[in-house]
Amino acid sequence: MGLEEYKGVYVFAQQVDNELSGIAFELLGKAKELAGDLNTDVTAVLIGSGVKGLADQLAEYGADKVIVVDDPELKEYRTEPYAHALSSVINEYKPEIVLVGATAIGRDLGPRVSARVATGLTADCTVLEIGDFPLNPIPGQEQKHNQLLMTRPAFGGNTIATIACPDNRPQMATVRPGVMQKREPVAGAKAEVIDYNPGFTPDHKYVEIVDIVKELSDTVDIMDAKILVSGGRGVGSPENFKILEDLAAAIGGTVSCSRAVVDSGWKPKELQVGQTGKTVRPNVYFAIGISGAIQHTAGMEESDIIVAINKDSNAPIFDVADYGIVGDLNKIVPKLTEELKKVVK
Amino acid sequence: MKIVVCVKQVPDTKGGVKFNPDGTLDRGAMLAIMNPDDKAGLEAALRLKDEYGAEVTVLTMGLPKAEEVLREAMAMGADKGILVTDRVLGGADTWATSTTLAGALRNLEYDLIITGRQAIDGDTAQVGPQISEHLDLPVISYAKDIKIEGDSVVVERQYDDRYHVLKAKMPCLVTALSELNEPRYMTPGGIFDAYDAEITVWGRNDLKDVDDANLGLNGSPTKIAKASDKVRKGAGEKVELDADESVAYIMGKLKEKHVI
């Protein structure tokens, strides 16, 4: 079958406990742009048990079609039935592009599916666009148009690479949460809903779920915060994070931190920003006592406004900060909190 | 029980990176270490060996110098080391890498295959699940605890806000998180023995049931269009003021940008 027979941009619409994950909407936002460039439409693939009711929400965020694979075997995420569901959809409907969230689910599902349908998969993309491969004409090599060009950081964020998948379909990419922008939802939008069930027969590849342990936390997800007050090793001690918490309270923000802070056991992993933590893009990011290793900045440099406070004037955080203040955080932060309290009600 | 641990020699990314003209990584030019997640996987295998008794084989694919990580693994307690190296295997993406490793694994007996979740050079987390697909095995990714119960493996599988306790019949493939454990050090005796130990070296022709079309740079579905050093966001303003002036400066900027 020719590659040109593969049509449409598909998104794996991740849901957990029958609630759509934010990444599903973010991927739909990007898929809509790509589909516009390719003059095609956007299909969300919704996999689960009793999930059909979520289709309207996907339509509001940009899905033209929703393929629903609904089966009791799909109640909880397990690699094999989900991989069977998604790869069956790919084999049946033949999309040209499939986007999957680079979540703890998608980074397991994506590779398994890509291997099953024998195509390439590019992980953790930060930029997706339509273009030519090779980028510039090379004598003796066909230049293919309308290719998905997938840009991603590699080597601990030291480099970026742009990758294409010119000879296999679909072109598959995973994208980390927080990287793409969701669209404004269109209330009342409807998608064409297609039920599809490839049949699920448990075999040796189905694993048994013995127990599910939810790790409930009362902290706000730092990826949803509009203002982050982030601390690094320079804060000095877990107790001293109090001055950051006060600042966050005064300005209506949330506290996050660098890897060094998590590694030292001062804060839990879920508050960690960076390559091995979460990617955030708040309106304002305060980097306080954070040196700004590339591993950290990879997770926050898309923030609208970055304010850095650090006593080391050579700290690399100042290379990405919009407003850098060389000084003692212990003197500046409490005073800033007091000033903010006067103006923010 | 027989356990195969797949390990990768990776450039220590703290030292900066270098490229070949074709955009692939110049691995020969950088400091090399055993990938941290793989090392946690190896440690998990060695603990299973300590507890239940097992033969632990370490398998790697890479340049001839990748035998260094096999010797390190053997100095930690692994029993055998196999290096898959061949010029035709170079430049492989995750598909071609997993095809290669699956071709090597088909020559081996195993109850459990352990890989690291991801390598610090590529950060893709793809090769483990892809190997399991090629070998038609169940996979459990992101393991933070691994136990054996009879003919099954019981694993705590980490998700964003929960973990699942999963049970799979062996043979099975598990990918390990570096949070799984604190890898042991090499012992002096182990280092001495590992230095003399024989490493099995396999080339393209030793791989079982693999097609040349799925190997190396040419067999990689993903192609590098462009690779470059990261262009960082430009620096903004930087000021050095006393505390009161600093606060006034920040307040001014927050007002100017309508944050407050």
| Beta carbons of B222 and A120 less than 8 Å apart | yes
Q: Check residue A263 and give its pLDDT.
A: 87
Q: Check residue A179 and give its pLDDT.
A: 84
| Beta carbons of A301 and B232 less than 8 Å apart | yes
> pLDDT tens digits, residue range A157-172?
667 899 999 999 999 9
Q: Which amino acid is at A170?
A: P
| Beta carbons of A305 and B259 less than 8 Å apart | yes
Separation in Å, CA of B200 to nearest CA in chain A: 28
Separation in Å, CA of A68 to nearest CA in chain B: 23
Q: Check residue A4 and give its pLDDT.
A: 87
**Considering only alpha carbons, which residue of chain B is nearest residue A116?**
B133
Separation in Å, CA of A204 to nearest CA in chain B: 7
**Considering only alpha carbons, which residue of chain A is nearest residue B137?**
A205
Q: What are A285's strand-pairing partners?
A: A228, A306
| Beta carbons of A115 and B134 less than 8 Å apart | yes
Question: Tokens in use for B10?
Answer: 């990776």
User: Side-chain half-sphere of B173: how many Cα atoms within 13 Å?
Assistant: 30
- Assess A309–B contact: CB distance below 8 Å, yes or no: yes
Q: Check residue B16 and give its pLDDT.
A: 58
Peptide bond just before B171 cis, omega within 30 deg = yes
Tens place of pLDDT for every residue, chain B, 260 residues? 999 999 999 987 655 566 677 666 676 777 789 998 999 999 999 999 999 999 999 999 999 999 999 999 999 999 999 999 999 999 999 999 999 999 999 999 999 999 999 988 888 899 999 999 999 999 999 998 999 999 999 999 998 889 999 999 999 999 998 878 889 999 888 898 988 899 999 999 999 999 999 999 999 999 999 987 766 566 789 999 999 999 999 999 999 888 88
> pLDDT tens digits, residue range A260-310?
999 899 999 889 998 878 889 898 999 999 999 888 988 898 898 999 999
Residue in A123, A206, A208 closest to B126 by CB: A123
DSSP string, A214-243: E----SPPGGG-SEEEEE-GGG-SSTTHHH
Q: Please, are residues A147 and A38 in contact by the beta-carbon 8 Å criterion?
A: no
| Beta carbons of B13 and A116 less than 8 Å apart | no
Q: Check residue A215 and give its pLDDT.
A: 77
Superfamily (CATH H level) for A222-343: TPP-binding domain (3.40.50.1220)
Delimit the domains of chain A by residue range.
3-195, 222-343
In 3D space, the residue among B58, B71, B157 whose CA is nearest the CA of residue B117 turns out to be B157
In this structure, the strands spanning A323-326 and B237-239 are: parallel
Q: Check residue A223 and give its pLDDT.
A: 85
DSSP string, B92-147: --HHHHHHHHHHHHTTS--SEEEEES--TTT----HHHHHHHHTT--EEEEEEEEE
Q: What is the ipTM of this complex?
A: 0.87
| Beta carbons of B161 and A217 less than 8 Å apart | yes
Residues of A in contact with B138 (CB under 8 A): 79-80, 204-207
Residue A225 clears pLDDT 90, i.e. is over it: no
In this structure, the strands spanning B2-6 and A323-326 are: unpaired
Q: Check residue A345 and give its pLDDT.
A: 65
| Beta carbons of A336 and B251 less than 8 Å apart | yes
* Whole-number Å distance between alpha carbons of A318 and A309: 9
Question: Tokens in use for A93?
Answer: 């409907």
Q: Check residue B11 and give its pLDDT.
A: 82
Residues of A in contact with B228 (CB under 8 A): 159-161
The fold adopted by the segment(s) A3-195 is Rossmann fold (3.40.50)
Element containing residue A338 per DSSP (H, E): helix A329-343
First CA to last CA distance, chain A: 64
* Whole-number Å distance between alpha carbons of B2 and B6: 13
Compute the mean pLDDT over every residue in chain A, rounded to the nearest whole number. Answer: 93
- Assess A209–B contact: CB distance below 8 Å, yes or no: yes
> pLDDT tens digits, residue range A15-43?
999 999 999 999 999 999 999 999 999 99
Residue A218 clears pLDDT 60, i.e. is over it: no
Residues of B in contact with A328 (CB under 8 A): 243
Residues of A in contact with B13 (CB under 8 A): 155-156, 158
Q: Check residue B231 and give its pLDDT.
A: 60
Q: Check residue B80 and give its pLDDT.
A: 97
B7 CB-contact burial (10 Å; exposed 0-12 / middle 13-18 / buried 19+): buried
- Within this chain, domains A3-195 and A222-343 share the same CATH topology: yes
Peptide bond just before A134 cis, omega within 30 deg = yes
Residue in B162, B236, B243 closest to A327 by CB: B243
Q: CB within 8 A of A156, min separation 6: which ones?
A: A275, A294, A295, B13, B14, B120, B121, B123
Q: Please, are residues B248 and A332 in contact by the beta-carbon 8 Å criterion?
A: no
Element containing residue A324 per DSSP (H, E): strand A323-326
The tokens 């990768």 sit on which residue? B8
In 3D space, the residue among A60, A72, A81, A65 whose CA is nearest the CA of residue A9 turns out to be A65
Residues of A in contact with B227 (CB under 8 A): 154, 159-162
- Assess A61–B contact: CB distance below 8 Å, yes or no: no
Q: Check residue B230 and give its pLDDT.
A: 63
First CA to last CA distance, chain B: 64
Neighbours of B136 (CB within 10 A): 11
**Considering only alpha carbons, which residue of chain B is nearest residue A144?**
B225
| Beta carbons of A323 and B249 less than 8 Å apart | yes
B105 CB-contact burial (10 Å; exposed 0-12 / middle 13-18 / buried 19+): buried
